[in-house]
Structure 1
Amino acid sequence: MADSSRLLLWPALHIIFHVIKGALILITIFPFAQEATKKRHIQSWSKQLLSIFGLKLKAINTEYLPKSGGYLIAANHI
């Protein structure tokens, strides 16, 4: 296998395994977990996914966000 193929293979496998890990958490833990536990798992999984892609999330002016509920972040440029 060429070196360039190996370089492309590892990130793809890492993402696939991470998605499988998330699916297993959904199937085995979420049906029995409390909301706080679910939120912790979602945050941890999401942070790990950002890390796999080499991204960092910086939130500013968070005082304007509601204290409860979910959020959708959309950016048209980086």
Structure 2
Amino acid sequence: MTAEQTEALIGMVATLALLVLMILPSLVGIVRERRIDRQLREAEQAREGERTRMEVQKSSSRSTVPSTATWYAEGRRSKKLVSS
């Protein structure tokens, strides 16, 4: 190998090393953002699942409150039983 070829090889390796050093931070950032996006998506899905589960639980455990008419009629019946 001649001196010119060696210098050309060193120049290409140096150029490639500089290119890698310039691209590496961008690649690390892209990988990091994809991981964060995945975590946010999983958290959102978990929150929606929790919200759905809570709504189902609320609707099934909701106590029924009698209407005013029912309350009034029951009060009248109990008074009749006491007075008779």
Q: Which has the higher helix share?
A: 2
TM-score class, shorter-chain normalisation, is 0.3 to 0.5
Q: Which has the higher contact order (CA 8 A, sep 6+)?
A: 1
User: What TM-score, normalized to structure 2?
Assistant: 0.34
Higher Cα Rg, which structure: 2
